[in-house]
Amino acid sequence: MSAAGFEESLRRFDLHLRAERNLSAHTRRAYGADVRQFAATLEPGARPDHVAPEDVRRFLTALHGRRNPATLARKLASIRAFFRFLVREGDSRFDPTAGMPLTRTPKRLPRPLAVDDCQTFIESIPVSSAAPADLRDRALLELLYGAGLRVGELVGLDVRDVDVHRGDVRVLGKGGKERVVPLPGAARDALRAWLDHRRSPGVLGEPLFVSLRPSHRRLLDRDVRRVLRRRARRAGIAGAVHPHRLRHSYATHLLDMGADLREIQELLGHASLATTEKYTAVSAERLVEVYDRAHPRARRQRAAGRRRSG
C-alpha cells in the first residue's frame, strides 16, 4: 500500500478544496477517499509525480463491472482534480488522467412523493402528542418537507437559527452559503411545540434536533434517515423515503402549484438554475401521467391499443 506516500499532497489538496473551492466536509472526504483508494493499488512508496496513465487505467479497469458508471465517473473526477492541483502547484509535471473521457451517466430524474403521501406521512404523527419522540419527529418532517432542506442543513441547525414568530429558518448551505427559507404554518406550529420541549429542564442546548437519550447529542444524517424509514413504515408509505426525496417532493409540488423556477432555485439554495430545471421534467412527466389516467380520450386510446395488441 502506498497511500502513505500521498498523505502530504492529500493534506494540501484538502486545504485547497476547503479554502479555495469552498467544498463541504462530506465532499472533501469523498475526494480524499477516492484518491487514497487509487493510491493503495500502487507500488509501495510510489509518489504522486511518478504515477502513469496506465496506473489510472488499471485502477478503473479493476473496478469495472463491480461499480456502476456513476461511481467510476466520480472516482476518475476525484483523481483528475487531485493531479490537476499538483500540476498547478508545480508538484507534478503532467496529469496522468489527461485525455481520459469521463463516463457519461444517464441522468436520473427525482422521484417525488405524491402530495397525499406527504400529507399521510407527516400527519401519521399526531400533533396532540406530548411524547418527545413525536414532537421531535413531527417538527423534523415538517421542516424537511416544508422548507426543502438537505439533511446536512437540517442536522446543522441550532435553536437560534429558527424564528417561529417571523416564520423562517436561517440555513447554512453548500459552500458555506447562507439563505433564509420561509416556513409554512404547519412547520411553525410543530417547531414551536418541539422548542417548548427543548427548553424544558435538562434538555437545553444549541442543536435544534437532538437524540432523546440523556446525552442529548446533535442528530446525525444517519439518525434522520433512520427516523424517516421507521416513520414511513408506520405510515404505510410504499418505497424508500429518504431526506432528499422529501426535498424533491417540496420542489416538485411548488412547481406544480405555479411557483417560479428562479424562486425555487433560491429556496433550494442551488448555485445554478440548470440544477433546478430537472424538476420541470418531473413536473411534465407527472402531467402526462395525470392526463393518461384522467382524460377520456387517453383512456380510449389505451383501450384501443390493448385490443390491437391482443
Among candidate residues 75, 136, 138, 150, the one labeled active-site is 150
Quick check: is 177 catalytic? Answer: no
Helix or strand or coil: residue 232?
Answer: helix
Exactly one of 244, 293, 295, 300 is catalytic; name it. Answer: 244
Question: If you write DSSP's letter for every residue of 138-197 in order, what string do you get?
Answer: HHHHHHHHHH---HHHHHT-BGGGEETTTTEEEEE-GGG-EEEEE--HHHHHHHHHHHHH
Dist CA 272 CA 145 (whole Å)? 22
Comparing C-alpha atoms, which of 203, 189, 168, 212 is closest to residue 122? 189
Closest CA to 71 of 53, 59, 84, 55: 59
CB 224, CB 155: distance < 8 Å: yes
Cell of 126: 399526531
Residue appearing with cell numbers 497511500: 3
Nearest-CA neighbor of 228 among 217, 218, 239?
Answer: 239
Q: Cα–Cα distance between 165 and 190 in angstroms, integer?
A: 13
Active-site residue flag, 107: no
Of the residues 28, 84, 174, 218, only one is catalytic, namely 174
The catalytically annotated residue of 75, 198, 231, 247 is: 247
Residue 145: HSE in the Cβ half-sphere, 13 Å Cα cutoff: 27
Q: Can 279 be counted among the known catalytic residues?
A: yes
Kindly report the CA angle at 276 between 221 and 156, in degrees rounded to 5?
A: 25
Catalytic center residues: 150, 174, 244, 247, 270, 279
